[in-house]
Each structure stands twice: as structure tokens, then as C-alpha cells.
Amino acid sequence: MRRLSALGIIALAGCGAQHLDPPDPRCTDPTQIERVAGGGAGPRISDCVHRAAKDTDLQEVGFAISRAADHLGDKSDAHALGFLIGAVRRGTGASGVQAELVNRVEAVARRVPGGSAAIDRGVADGEAHG
């Protein structure tokens, strides 16, 4: 009986642990992130965010996403920026740091003049497919 109990405890301890592969190296390239947000090929942005479990991965992916968001905002590419927001939301877990990344990208969207309808469509597309 003791042996079964010890094995059960060990099994339960491992159930909550997430063992994720690191994000795709392209997830740390703002140009790749921007390309995907604009409808191009590349890694799923939500996977990039979700797989950024370690602090260093999250920092690198967050930097790339922030740079891409700034550039999309500067170009007033409202749909792509909305897609980026939706994809980041989709990939965000319970981490407060990941939630802050969502806030950061949404703040860029608030600076885009007159793009709210396109941003909303992009958000919906990003949440569904990003």
C-alpha cells in the first residue's frame, strides 16, 4: 500500500508541470512576427507566446512582438495589428507577464487613427487563427 501511495504522489506531482519546447527561433524576429500578422507564412504567434515559458524566452518573444506592434502601428496597418493582438491573447496563459504583453500591444492599437473596425476584425481573426 505504501508503495502505491508513493507512486501516486510522484505521478500527481508531474501532472501539473508543463514541459514545452522552446519557441520557434523565428518568434524572436520582429520581421517574422510582422509578416505573420500581415497574413504571411511563419510560426503561429499564439504558439510563440504560449511556448515562451522561461523568462528569457518570454523576454525575447515579447521584445519581437512589441517591435512588430510598433512598426505596424507606425504603418497604420490596423488589421495586422488587430491580428497580432488576437494572436497574443490566444497564446497568453495565466502569467501576469504574458498579460502585460497583451496590454502593451493593445496600447499601440489605441494610437492608430480611425482603425477600430479593421482592428476589431483583425483581433477576431487573430483569436481564431493566430
Tens digits of residue pLDDT in 70-119: 999 999 899 999 999 999 999 986 666 778 888 999 999 998 887 789 99
Contacts of 113 by beta carbon, 8 Å cutoff, 6+ apart: 76
Q: Is the pLDDT of residue 126 over 90?
A: yes
Direct distance between the N- and C-terminal alpha carbons of the chain, in angstroms, rounded to an integer: 48
- State if pTM tops 0.75: yes
pLDDT in tens, 23-81: 889 999 999 999 999 999 999 999 999 888 788 888 999 999 999 999 999 998 999 99
On average, the pLDDT of the chain sits at 83
Q: Which CA distances in Å does 99 have to 42, 64, 69, 77, 115?
A: 23, 16, 15, 23, 23
Domain boundaries, the chain: 22-129
pLDDT reported for residue 14: 39
E strands of 41-85, at which residues? none
